[in-house]
Amino acid sequence: MTTQNAIMTVICVALVMVVRQSSAQTPYDAEARIALANEINQTYGNLVSPSFSITELFDIKNRLDKADSIAQKYGVDLDYRQHTFVELCDIESRIELAGEINRRYSQNLDWRQYGYRQLLEIEEQLKSEAQPLKN
């Protein structure tokens, strides 16, 4: 029974500390959300509201930045709403690798048709075919 009471006390104290800390962060959180929402809206048009969580705003900004970077570097327009940040990074990697394979080995690979691992395998195969046989 005393162990349960001790555990309950620790949990209660922890919850009180979390609530105090989160309420102390609220004004800063609101300011950060407003600033980030303004930055996104100034850069990409009126897309977000400060009512989104800071996590959601950072996610949206990261996806917008990555989609914009891909469009500028490779001329591929992607909708940030249809892809996670990780998917956008994967797409960028596939575009880059397919382009390198196409340049280096005179291929015409479409990055949309292959996963990154498949492209690596194709590159390895082409590399081994291009190396002269050793005696």
Provide the token pair at 6. Answer: 């001790």
Q: Which amino acid is at 130?
A: A
pLDDT at 125 over 90: yes
**Where residue 24 falls among pLDDT bands split at 50, 70, 90?**
very low
Would you say 91 and 78 are in contact if contact means Cβ atoms under 8 Å apart? yes
The span from the CA of 5 to the CA of 96, in Å, is 59
Global pTM?
0.75
Mean confidence (pLDDT) of the chain: 86
Q: What integer pLDDT is reported at residue 23 of this predicted model?
A: 47
* Confidence at residue 25, expressed as pLDDT on a 0 to 100 scale: 53
Question: Does residue 17 carry a pLDDT above 80?
Answer: no
- Asked if 58 and 32 touch (Cβ cutoff 8 Å), the reply is no
Closest CA to 109 of 99, 124, 120: 99
Determine the Cα angle at 49 with ends 44 and 55, to 5°: 90
Q: Which of 95, 90, 124 is nearest to 109 (CA)?
A: 95
pLDDT of residue 1: 54
Per-residue pLDDT reduced to its tens digit, 55-92: 999 999 999 999 999 999 999 999 999 999 999 999 99
> The tokens of 122 are what?
């194709």
What was the pLDDT predicted at 34? 94
Domain boundaries, the chain: 53-130
